[in-house]
Every structure is written in C-alpha cells, then in structure tokens.
Structure 1
Amino acid sequence: MTQLEQQENQVIRELVLPEAPPPPVYVPQPEGPAYSAPAFVPEPAPDTADRAPADPAQADTRPQPGNQSGNQSGNQPRQAPTKITYALTLNRSPVVGNRLRLQGVYPETRLGFTRPQGWTVESAKAIIRYQHSPSLLADRSHLTVRVNDTSVGSVPLDRPDSQIGQATFNIPANLIQDSNELSMLAEQQTSDTCSNPTDPTLWTEILPDSKLVFEFIPKATTLNFSQYPYPFLDEFGLEPNQLAYLRPQSLSADWLTAVSRFQASAGRLSDRQILDTRLVTNVDQISATEGLVVIGTPADQPILSRLAMGYSVQNGQLLDGSRQPLPNDVGLLAVATTRNQENRDIPVLVATGNSAEGVLKAVQYLVQAPDRQLATGQAVTVSNVAQVPTPEPRSWSGYLPTQNEFQLRELTTLDGQPYSDITVHGTNAPIIEVGFRALPDDRLLQGSTMTLHYSHSPQLNSNNSAVEVMIDGVTIGSKRLTGNGQDNTFNVNLPPHLIQPDSTLGVHFILQPEQPGICGLTADQQLWGTLHADTRFNLNRENVVQVPNLELLKAGFPLASPQDLSTTAIVLPNNPTDTDVETLLSFSERMGRVSRSDSVKLTAYLANAVPTEVRDQQNLVAIGARERFPYPEVFEASSSGLSLATGFFRQWEQSQAQTLPDREGVIKAIPSPWSRDRVLLALTGQTDEGLREVQDLFNRDPLFSQLRGDTVLISRNQATPSPYDASGYNLEFLQQTQPRQIRNTTLLRRIVLFLQDNWWLLLLGMVLLALLLYSFSQLFMNRVA
C-alpha cells in the first residue's frame, strides 16, 4: 500500500449507515399572544379608528390537536391552520422611530421587511397613517406606495388642517418575497406654477403606528441539513429566534465548550435579529415557538434513545447500520421532531457521539462555514473536521483594511459586498453612508486624507450646489459643484479623533437646478451625483491601544482578536448553576455577533481545571455569583476600585456599605494578573439576579452599545423592560484602574508616541538643556577671563 493510499484511508472512514427513517416534517405552530410581540397588534375593523386588539376567541383559528399517535419523531404532521393574521408596525424599524418625514417636492423613503420562511402568504395590505402640511395643494399633491418597485396605490394629500389620514393599500401576495422593500413617494406642491424645493412647508409625516398586515398559512417543512439553520434560526423571521438547550445530567468543560461554540455560531447566523435562549431539563418545558438543541452523549442525554434519527441507541451508545457502536472519535448530527406537553411539534437539533470528542467534533463541523455548507440529509456522521487556519489578529471583516492606502471598493457593505459606484438623484438626495470602522487597536494620527472622486449632472446651480463629507454626522469638508461635473476630485483631511470602530462616512450631494423656474419630476430627477468606488484613502496610523476599556468590547476587542475567538477562554465555577450557563450563552452569542470568521474556537473550563498555559496566554472571562466566583481576588479589598465581599458588603476606596439585598449585575475588566497583553473580564453579582442583569446587557443592543469605563453596574427599574428600549435599566460606569498601553510599533515610533502623550517632558527637557548650556557657557567665559 502506497503512502498516498494510507493517507486516504486515514481521511476516508466509511461507516455502515442505518436505514433512513421517514423524513421528519415540521409545521410551525404560531400562537397568538406568545407569537406576537406587544408592538404587533391584530388588524382592526376598517371602520374602527382605535387599534383595539381583536377578540382572542376570533383570533385563535388554529385547529385543536386531534387523536394523534404518540410518535416522538412527529412524522405525521397535523393539518395546517386555515389563516393567521400578523401585523407588523413600522416603528419596529429604527429608521422610523417616532416619525418618518417626507420633505421636499418629490421625496421618497424606503423601508425593508422580510417574509418568514415558514409562511405561505395568502394576502397582505399596508395601512398607512399620515399627516401632512396644510399648505399643500390637494389637487397636485399625492402619496404613492410601492412594494418591490411595483405601485400598489396612491392617495391625494387633501386632509384639512393637518388632520390625520389613513389609507389601506392591498398588496398582491405574489409580490411578497423573502426580502422586500416598501417605498413611499410623495409629490408635494404649494404653488400652481413652481414650488420651491427648500420650502419648509413641503412635508408629510408617516405615523409610526402605520403597519403591514399579513394573512398566511404555516408551511410544512421537511427537516434537512441543506436548509440549516432553518427552522431553528430564521434569517427572515419577524419575531426573535428562540432556542432551548436540554441540560445534561452533569455539566462538563467539554459540554460547556461545545455549547459556547454553537451559541457563538447561532449569534452570527442570527445577525441583526434577537435570539432568545434558555436551559430546560425536559421536553415538556418547550413552547411551540422554540427549537430544541440536544448536545451530548446518549449517556448524558437519555432523550436520544426516543428520537427517530436513524441511529439507534443501546446501553448508552450510538449504533451504526451493522449494530456496532460508532467510534468514539466520530460525531453525529441529526434533525428530528418531538412533541411537548401540549402535543405540539418541536424541531430538534442533535449533536452527539459516543464520547465528548465525538460530540465536540459534530458541533465544530456545524459551526465552520465551509463544512456546514456541505451538510445535507437528516443525519450526518462526522469522522474528520478540517482545521480552519486562525486569521491574523488584525484581519477583521467589515473594518478598514490593514494597509494604509486603499480605495472605497475595498470596503464592504453590511451584506459583505464590496462598494461600487453609488448615484443619488433629486433636490432631496439622501446621504450616501459608508461604514468606515477603524480597527479597535488603531490610533489614527494627523495627516490622514481622503481623495473623493465624484461626478454630477451639468444642470446645476453652482452657487447653491455642493458636496459635503461627514464623519458620524460631523462635516469635515465641502466643495461647490462646478463645471461639467465629470471626474472631479476633492481632498479632505480626516480628523483622527472622529474615526472610531463604529464610525460612518457620509457623502451628501446638495443639488439645486440651474434654472429654479423649471419644475416637474423629470427636471428634478435630472439632478444627480455619483460617488465613485475608486475614491482613495491614505491613513496615518499606529497600532496602539489602552486596556482595559469596556468601550472596545462593543467591537469585541481584545476578546475577538483574532476573529475566531481562539485567544479567549470562559471560566465557570466548579459546580455551575443554570444561571451561570445562561450567562455563558449570552456572552458567547454576543461574541459571535461582533466577530466574523469561518470557525469558532472558543473554549470553556471549570475553575479547578484551567490549564496553566491557558491562564497565562489567553484572555479570560470569569462567570459566577460572588460566593462561587472563580477568581475572588478580582473583588477583594486589596484590589483597586469597587470590591464585593460576603454579606452584601461593598467597598469603594475608604468607603464601605452593606446593601439589603444587592441585585445589581457587575461587569469588570482588569489587566490579566498572569499576562501583560491579556485581560480578565468578570461577569458577576452578589446573587443570581445580578447575573441575569448581566445577561440582559449582552442580549440587548441598546444596553450593550453604552459600554465604557472598566466597570459597569446594571440594574433594572422596571419589572419587564422592553428589549428595544434602554430606559428600563440603570447603568453606572466606573473607571477604577489605570489603563495599560499596548503598542505594536517600532522603537522609534514608541519614543515619538511617548513624547506625544507626555509633551510636558519635552518642555522640561528643553528647559534643562538651556540651563545646562548656560552653565557651560559661564564656565567657558570664566576660564577665558
């Protein structure tokens, strides 16, 4: 046998496959109150002004469970409900907020919405509530609604004295796709001859309680890994994705590592959607809107013996088609269905094996994008998992390139696509926004420039037309639009202090017609401005950062450097509680959301089994309430800043107090005691209630986006705060320790940076040098005399 054949035999391991069971079929079972968030209300009767909720007895059109067999696999789907009504209010979009204003003669606004994958849309309509300026001419002002560039109706803007109007637009069901765009265009005139586009009385406001109403039938889906992550995660869903992890009989470091990696991957796949997760101990606790995730060996998860996943279980071991146990280093992925205590179908995702090695291998296959794309069928046995190379620490997708000179086309959109030429039209042209996110450990210096390459239409009034460049809404440069408008350039200095890891570059074309007396939509749309993709940037920067700084954690730094999370380890108490594990899930999900890579290499340990090399070389995230915290020295009185002690004692410098009780959550970052370039992040509190507040901070964007300082105290001031509003919580930020500066530069640049940070030393040195020269000159003159 040749060496090549031996290598192939090591890679290719053929297992005897069992007979495939009937494919599991899952029918979503949305429930009225549980399925719709408070912001979504049932559609009122057409003649009802107030949007009162519909009668629950009328809203619940789901059929009652019939006499079904007790098949745990759920291969016999129930009859689908007739029709379900769902209302999506426009204020769910951050673009709308309290109002959506249309300003100008021909303004337009666009909103995106999605169609869940489990829907078969039967009908849809847009109910638009609006208010407009009383100065508008009723016979010349209209509001038009489009869906995916298809007009679905118009309404005249003829309400007297700015009274609120309401219009219903029927949307053909065949127009609704997975991703959709709702456009609202207005023609607003205040003059019979020519309206001034800068007239402030040209306005119409779309009220935030406007909504889209859908009637749909839940769609039966055959579970298959080729559709993963659906139905467990729906990228087009309008409600939060919901996962429930089945808690094994005992919690080990291997299980915690597998769960943290899967949760980080789920956070990435959920992207900008909310993901609700929790631990359960049995299937009866699962609701109809959740997906069940079972991770562990058959010995740890007895439910595996009752699931129809093709591979049978005997004596706590998985058997292949020849009734032989699967090798310990082989993992198994499977999808199935089960039923909860309400006899509802629940989709089940299984990652198992006959050993912890096999379980982790199955999870790793699912979290690695190149491998996950190859998965198909109801069950996948994983014999080998490719080792995805760890990316460079400063190779971050969606951020500025590491080279100092680059073009706009080298930046990427939110969808991961490179920027191309962008053109806007009209006197109310929208601002072109480009993500201009500096790497968290970048320090920009004076001398950074941008060479804007742009073009514009020739029919412009050069006295009133200009192009502006902004960083986060702050104008940093502008230039009048003159000449024929072709291939113009404009050099702009980039202020170093404005460019942050969450910055946005804006280019605003202010377009005014050459002859203001010419009116009409055609004349307005002849005005255009184009930002070209070869716009150049030349940055002057250094790789310098100060830690600890929780503001950097908003971008994941330093825990997500590199982006596969391979330098971060989570440490839990020796006997973790469910609250500890749920905190691990919240943290892992957030780290998945703020990072992008083809793999996840996060690890988890119990406090008494952290390897010395991990403690000394990695960033550590310690989780646990005060009495069981893995590293209690973080909150001892001898440490700097806030100290927590038993008996609900708190100490700050020389002040000491005892609270009754202390339900606040605490997040504290300190330099790692075992490594100069690493940090120790503590997620803790005096009680489990405090840990739940920490979970909320990582789960909710309005809270997480406020992080700063090195210590955060979190508490709630409402019993059930809204996930979209931070006002239900109290956050206190503290700066307790002196930040440590980490530099990755040459010795000469370190000296220059040191003098920039300590400029007073340069002045002191100049004074001392002058005194020294004066002393020498006096000695010389005395000797000559």
Structure 2
Amino acid sequence: MAQAQSNAPASPAITPSTETYREGAVDEKKERSSQEFDLPSPPPKAPQVKAAPQGDPYVLEFNRSPVVGSRFSLRGIYDEARLGFTRPRQWKLKSVKALIRYRHSPALYATRSNLTVMINGASIGSIPLSQEEGEIGNAVFDVPLSQLQNYNQITIAALQNNSPTCTQDPYDPSLWTEILPDSKITFDYEPQPIALDFNRYPYPIFDELSLEPNQITYLLPSKVDQAWLTATSRFQASLGRIADYRRLNTRLVKTVDDVKLTEQLVVIGTPEQQSALKSLALPMPIKDNQILDEKEKALPPDVGVLMLTTTPEDVAPVLVATGNGEAGVKKAIQFLVQSKDQKIGTGQTILVKDLDAVPSPPPRDWPGYLPLAEEFELSDLTNRSGQPFEDITVRGSDSPPIEFDFRALPDDRFESGNSMTLVYSYGPQINAKTSLVEVKLDDVALIGKRLTSINGGTRETLKIDLPGDRIKPTSKIQVDFRLDARERRSCSKVTDQQLWGTLHNDTSFKLNRTTAVQLPDLKLVTLGYPFAAPQDLSQMAMVLPKTPSPSDVMTALEFSARLGRLTKAESVQFTVYTADMLPQEVREEYHLVGVGIEKDFPFPEVFTAGGFELRDTLTRQLDESEIQASPDNDGVVKEIMSPWNDERVLLALAAQTDKGLEQVQDLLKNDPLFFQIQDDTVLISANEQGADAYSPNAYNLDFFKQQPLVSVEKTPLPNRVLRLLGTSWFLLGPALVAATLILYALVQLYLKRVAGQEK
C-alpha cells in the first residue's frame, strides 16, 4: 500500500510498507522517504469548481442508446423494454419528466390494453392503448425525484389484447406496440459547485455518472519526452478501464487558456516541464521550479505530488501529477493507476513517498474469461456485475433464457472431449409432453431434454458435449426453460407464473484444451491480444518518432485508452519510448506498437515486410502494384511478426499524413469501427468531416491478408507428446511393431559385423 500524506484534517496515519516501489528512485531514497514533510495548512474554505451557468433543461433521447436503434418494439400479450440512465453528481434536480411517443397495432382493444411506465420498479403511470391506426401517441409522466438514484432504469411495459374477452394466441403478430426512438427524458436541474477531494477519485476528473462523454484535456509539456509519454499513456489506459463502455473524448492543449468549460484538465510533469503550474492556484508553493513544503524545503525528487485545483476563474477542475524529478512524477501517476492504492487517497493534496510494486499477473490470467483449470463450475464464472454466479430461477412460459459468458482465452484451442454437466430443477404442474430444457452455444442449439416429472424435478443432471471449434472468446451459453402448463386456463396469468426452472451454480464444465495461436491477426487485437498478456500490459512497449507530433501523441493515447477498456488488472505497466531511446532488449523481447507517419515511422521494417506498404512521395504499394495518391489521408493499421523475435508481434499505427493518423484515432476510439478489424492490414478513411461512427456509411474500411500466419504454441513439450499420443493412439501399435523390426535389423547387422571381425 502507498504511504501518502494528505491535507485532510482527519486523515489517519498510514504505516509504511516494507516492500516499496523503487523504480527510478534516487540513491538516498530510503533515508529521505523516512522524513516527514510538512504540507500546507488547509485553506479556511475548501476550494471548489464554480457551478456551471444555468442552462436549458437537459434532454436525454432514447435513440442515444445503441439498444434502441430505430425502434423499441413490444410484442405478445405482455412485454417489457428497459433503458438505463444515470444522474450526474453535480446536478440538483428540480423536476424530471418522461415523454413517451408510441404507436400500436390497430387490432388492440383499448379497454384491455395499456402501457405502463416504471422507474426503478415503481410505477409512475399507465395509459390505454387507444390510438387510431397510424396515429402517434404522446404521453408525459412526472418522475418522482425520490425514486431516482445514481443508476436508474426506466421500464416500459405493454399489456396487449386483441379480444374483448381472451386473447388465445400470445404469439399473434397483431400484438405489438412500438416506442419511438425520439422519446425522451427531460431533466430540469440546477448546477452545483464541485468540491475538490481525492476521496471521490476519479471524480471530478472523470464522472462515471455523466450523461455526456467525459472530456479529458492534457496540457503538453515544454518537451515531449519518454518519461512524460509513459506517465500520460499509463494514466490514459487507467481512464480507459474506468470508462469501460462509456464515451471518452481526449484532446491536447498548449496553454491553460485553451481549456473549455466542459473539459477536465490533466497536467503531468515537473514544474520545469510544465511552466503553466505557476499560473494555477496550487495548495503547495513552487519556487525556482521546485515544489516546497510549508517550511519552504524542496521535496526530494523521488516524492510524487498529486493536487486538485481549478483553471483560472474556477471554471474547470485540474488534476496535477508532479514532483521535483521524473521519479516523483512517475510515482504520482502510478499511485493513480494502481486501483488498490488510489482508494486510500483523500484531501486536495497527496504526497506519494513509498508505493508497493504490484506483481505482474500470469499472462493467461484474464478476468472475465474461462478459468485456467480443466474442470470448473458455474460459480467460478462471474456475472456482469463481477460477482460469482448464484442459482438463477426464471418463471413463466415465455421466460427469457439464462445467459452467461463462456469466453475462451484468445490462445485457447479446444479438442474433442469438452463437456458441460447441467444441474437444474423445475416446478410441478408442467406439461411433460411439451416442456423441455434447451442448451445453446452462441444461439446454436446443442441439446434439449423433456421435463418428464409432473411433480417437478430436483437437481436433475444433463451432460452436453461442447464442440471445441465453436468455443470462442466471445461465446455465450444460453439455458432456456421452455415451460408449458399442464392445465391451460383461459386468460389466466396465475398458472403461467407458477411455472419455474432453476439453473444451479454447481453446473460443471470439463475442457480439453491446449495453448496455441496463429499470428498476425488483427481480429485478436479486438480482444487486446497479444498486448494484454499479461493484463497489466507489462510485455508491451509503444514507440513514437524521435520528436513526436501532437498527432503521434494523440494516436498513442487513443491506443492506450482502448487497451485500458480491454483489460482488467491492478496496475498498468507498459512503457512508451521515442525511437532513439528504445533499448535493444525491449526491441527483442517485447510486443511492439509503432506510431507515426511514414517518413518518421520508428519501424521501417513494417513497410518492407511485403503486402501493403507505404513509401515516400505519397506512394502506396501492394505486392507488385504501385501508385501515387494525393492527398493520402487514409489511416493504416498493420500487424507483422516482429523481425527480432518470432514469437512477438509488431503493430503499426501509421499514415502518410497527420490527417491519416486522425482516421486511425477514430478507428481506435469508436467501437463500431474497432470491432470490425480483421486480417493483418486495414485501411480506414472517413467519407466526410466529423463522420458519425454509428452511421454505416460514415467510414470505409478495407482489409488485406498479406502476411503468412505463424503458429505460436505455448503448450509445454511433455503435454504436446501426451496430446499426440492421445489423438494418435490407433497408430501406437503399428509404430511399436515398426520400431521393433528396425531394432531387430540393427542388432542383426551388428552381430554380422562382429562375426566377420572374428574370422
């Protein structure tokens, strides 16, 4: 754990750790870090960011969610649709209204059909479905403020009947209602000041509850060097992990005055690198480019300093990660990217003196993926909340399937002999002729079994063969209880809800797998592989040109954020180098990511390896075909095997121009584009300025498969021999016979020679 000092008046003492983070420390670190540094006294009034100017009510339209798309359909006798939204921290809500726009089937009976809206499970109103054919209905619902939480869910439920007495067929296609995508939730709110305190980190630098993309702005230092690039990229990767599925917009600025009202500023570097620190209202004084404590003593260069402040006029929050030396800056950032350490932060100022080094996880320890053991249970997997699976029960004849991730590691290869032993129970009153349990892998049915006991079943088992060629890193297993009542009662929901099925968490799995992968393959990059093995990214290095441009830096930051989204670990450990500072051992032993335009690209070997190549004078070459294009604003992502290590890869994020690098940044930032990449080379171009990544015609992606695939197998040799014997046992007998005959012939030849020598 970190040893830190804070200016919070009630901060508890923290005992120094015996194992400390020593990378980059000075020779006298142990002696100096045992000193006590005097932090400035807290100001009489805690600093805060001013409340934003009062604006118009905020409108959240349903079509901003990808799950809504062009329509939100409700079908059958009873159906529900759900949409999640958050409540930003800095809002004091005055009123919230939900406007639902809808249209429905003309076959519905208004007296027996209605639409109900619920917030977090509490009903806020119902309306009859009584519109004429083709007419669009509008309904406004007041949302009680007491029902709102940080994370909220609006549920729209439709009860639909096409008969004045009883709807006989629940699957009748005339039973439908559509919620139009321009339905909206309107927030009338009063902006509040933002307190600056590390006890709520990452807020206010990153707000997980924001309804808008978080806007992060980095202040460029006087010189972009290796230390700044590494610290900034690691911090950006940590923000990517925090952001997860949320949008994150990043920008570089040269002065504090360039920061916009809606942005959060991050300043990384020593006072000498970041002269703008002197213009900020910092809780610690700076003199002669040295940070001083209250007694005006300069802090040692290996002490990290973290401060929260505001831009001039207190309009935007600022995070400062600094120190009197590169070691201190690196330690300050490392405190923030190590999730277990950042939790102990508090106050406006933190001095990071000692920091535990987080050990790197094993390369194949990927949270959220299948366990490494050959045999495991459902309880060993985690749900979407990161918690182990418990028993799951579903009810009704039209209950949704129970679904869970069954994600293979990217280098998993499955052979025959994989199985799942389903443990399940079900209730009485089922129709044994028409009720069953079905197991699907990625929506492909594997097996089904009738539920045969009209009195219910307890902990019954079913063994299912899992086809190895269908278990992928994106796989899901669905367990579907198709339940039918033994006695049908006209229009009765009671009998239906008495039907239930339970999936038990001791459902077990047995997998027969090896470790092998074929590279290069950009499809694996969408999983983070191989750069995310291990998950702290410690076996990866990024390399930029000797003098990086802002476009180079932005591309590196977008790639860092993407890797952060794809990984889960206690720390971030990769390093960023400039081309002139790359050590030979890193070149030979690490996975490498090169960034830059063609003329300054740090690894020209990428464009001499065959396939698609970029050359000077805006020249493109594909095999023997060569053209010149002007302008060439396409981005290029290309992966080859490392020329210095046949088990490592070299990824190029390149272009002919800075405009082309912007296309690469768009590819890395936007999910709809990034998860399309495949083969070993992709060219990306935007069809218009400011193209929308969610529009199918906004970008052009071209893929090439030019590099020969190399099989990288990491299975130990004894395991390979056992696997060969296991898969080729039918050849064992003939092989033994052949070996015996060869040995017999050799012995006879030897005996003849001996006999000839004796004569």
Q: TM-score, normalised by structure 1?
A: 0.86
Q: Name the structure 1 match of 2:41.
A: 19
CA contact (8 A) 1:84 1:217 kept: no
CA contact (8 A) 1:564 1:601 kept: yes
CA contact (8 A) 1:124 1:170 kept: yes
CA contact (8 A) 2:232 2:268 kept: yes
Q: Distance in 2 between matches of 1:690 and 1:88?
A: 33
Q: Name the structure 1 match of 2:717.
A: 747
Q: Distance in 1 between matches of 2:724 and 2:134?
A: 62
Mapped pair 1:660 → 2:634: no
List aligned pairs for 1:94-133, cutoff 5 A. Answer: 94-133=66-105
Q: Name the structure 1 match of 2:295.
A: 322
Q: Name the structure 2 match of 1:445.
A: 415
Q: CA deviation at 1:359?
A: 0.5
CA contact (8 A) 1:564 1:595 kept: yes
Secondary structure at the aligned position of 2:390 is classed as coil
List aligned pairs for 1:559-598, cutoff 5 A. Answer: 559-598=531-570
CA contact (8 A) 2:234 2:574 kept: yes
List aligned pairs for 1:55-74, cutoff 5 A. Answer: 62=53
| One of 119, 122, 125 as aligned partner of 1:153 | 125
Q: Distance in 1 between matches of 2:696 and 2:258?
A: 29
Q: Distance in 2 between matches of 1:9 and 1:195?
A: 83
Q: CA deviation at 1:305?
A: 1.6
Q: Distance in 2 between matches of 1:135 and 1:512?
A: 26
- Further displaced range: 297-306 or 425-434: 425-434
Q: Name the structure 1 match of 2:588.
A: 616
Q: Distance in 1 between matches of 2:318 and 2:436?
A: 58
Q: Name the structure 2 match of 1:496.
A: 468
Q: CA deviation at 1:193?
A: 3.3
Q: Name the structure 1 match of 2:266.
A: 293
| One of 588, 592, 605 as aligned partner of 2:577 | 605
Q: Name the structure 1 match of 2:216.
A: 243
Which deviations, in whole Å up to 9, do the C-alpha atoms of 1:197-255 show, x marking residues without a partner? Answer: 23232222222221111111112221100011111111111110110000001011000
- Further displaced range: 576-585 or 515-524: 515-524
CA contact (8 A) 1:28 1:289 kept: no
The letter for the 2-side match of 1:538 is K
CA contact (8 A) 1:543 1:745 kept: yes
Q: Distance in 2 between matches of 1:644 and 1:7?
A: 48
Which deviations, in whole Å up to 9, do the C-alpha atoms of 1:423-475 show, x marking residues without a partner? Answer: 22223212222111111111112221111222223222233322222222222
The letter for the 2-side match of 1:243 is I
CA contact (8 A) 1:16 1:321 kept: yes
Mapped pair 1:224 → 2:215: no
Q: CA deviation at 1:530?
A: 2.0
Q: Distance in 2 between matches of 1:185 and 1:512?
A: 23
CA contact (8 A) 2:32 2:300 kept: no
Q: CA deviation at 1:284?
A: 1.7
Mapped pair 1:261 → 2:231: no
List aligned pairs for 1:567-716, cutoff 5 A. Answer: 567-636=539-608, 639-716=609-686
CA contact (8 A) 2:556 2:595 kept: yes
Q: Distance in 1 between matches of 2:579 and 2:724?
A: 39
The letter for the 1-side match of 2:154 is L
Q: Distance in 2 between matches of 1:173 and 1:492?
A: 49
Q: CA deviation at 1:626?
A: 0.2
Q: Distance in 2 between matches of 1:736 and 1:744?
A: 25
Q: CA deviation at 1:723?
A: 3.7
Q: CA deviation at 1:194?
A: 4.8
CA contact (8 A) 1:399 1:439 kept: yes
Mapped pair 1:729 → 2:688: no
Q: Name the structure 2 match of 1:399.
A: 369
CA contact (8 A) 2:488 2:495 kept: no
Q: Distance in 2 between matches of 1:481 and 1:503?
A: 26
Which deviations, in whole Å up to 9, do the C-alpha atoms of 1:388-409 show, x marking residues without a partner? Answer: 0100100011111011111111
Q: CA deviation at 1:755?
A: 11
Q: CA deviation at 1:288?
A: 0.6
Residues 147/713 of structure 1: CA separation in 2 closer, same or farther (3 Å cut): same
CA contact (8 A) 1:97 1:208 kept: yes
CA contact (8 A) 1:112 1:182 kept: yes
The letter for the 2-side match of 1:258 is A
CA contact (8 A) 1:130 1:164 kept: yes
Q: Distance in 2 between matches of 1:338 and 1:520?
A: 64
Secondary structure at the aligned position of 1:551 is classed as helix
- Further displaced range: 710-719 or 564-573: 710-719
Q: Distance in 1 between matches of 2:32 and 2:284?
A: 23
CA contact (8 A) 1:703 1:726 kept: no
Q: CA deviation at 1:270?
A: 0.9
Q: Distance in 1 between matches of 2:610 and 2:173?
A: 56
Residues 702/752 of structure 1: CA separation in 2 closer, same or farther (3 Å cut): farther
Residues 196/460 of structure 1: CA separation in 2 closer, same or farther (3 Å cut): farther
Residues 111/381 of structure 1: CA separation in 2 closer, same or farther (3 Å cut): same
Q: Name the structure 1 match of 2:358.
A: 388
Q: Distance in 1 between matches of 2:636 and 2:409?
A: 27
Aligned length: 707
Q: Distance in 1 between matches of 2:18 and 2:604?
A: 54
Q: CA deviation at 1:745?
A: 1.7
Q: CA deviation at 1:28?
A: 4.9
Q: CA deviation at 1:749?
A: 5.1
CA contact (8 A) 1:257 1:604 kept: yes
CA contact (8 A) 1:412 1:418 kept: yes
CA contact (8 A) 1:307 1:338 kept: yes
Q: Name the structure 1 match of 2:57.
A: 85
Which deviations, in whole Å up to 9, do the C-alpha atoms of 1:58-111 show, x marking residues without a partner? Answer: xxxx4xxxxxxxxxxxxxxxxxx3x64111112222322222222222222222
The letter for the 1-side match of 2:351 is T
The letter for the 1-side match of 2:494 is T
| One of 558, 562, 572 as aligned partner of 2:530 | 558
Paired-residue identity, %: 47
Q: CA deviation at 1:754?
A: 8.3
Q: Name the structure 2 match of 1:537.
A: 509
Q: Distance in 2 between matches of 1:645 and 1:107?
A: 58
Which deviations, in whole Å up to 9, do the C-alpha atoms of 1:629-686 show, x marking residues without a partner? Answer: 00112103xx221111101111111111111121111111111111122111111011
Which deviations, in whole Å up to 9, do the C-alpha atoms of 1:523-568 show, x marking residues without a partner? Answer: 3322222222111111111111111111111110110100000011
Mapped pair 1:415 → 2:385: yes
CA contact (8 A) 2:48 2:314 kept: no
Q: Distance in 2 between matches of 1:198 and 1:98?
A: 23
- Which sections of structure 1, spanning at least 5 residues, go unmatched? 30-61, 63-80, 777-785
Q: Distance in 1 between matches of 2:154 and 2:528?
A: 34
Which deviations, in whole Å up to 9, do the C-alpha atoms of 1:295-326 show, x marking residues without a partner? Answer: 00001111212222221011111111110111
Q: Name the structure 1 match of 2:749.
A: none
Q: Distance in 1 between matches of 2:509 and 2:34?
A: 49
Q: Name the structure 2 match of 1:46.
A: none
List aligned pairs for 1:293-312, cutoff 5 A. Answer: 293-312=266-285
- Further displaced range: 584-593 or 482-491: 482-491
Root-mean-square deviation (Å): 2.4
The letter for the 1-side match of 2:68 is V
Secondary structure at the aligned position of 1:388 is classed as coil
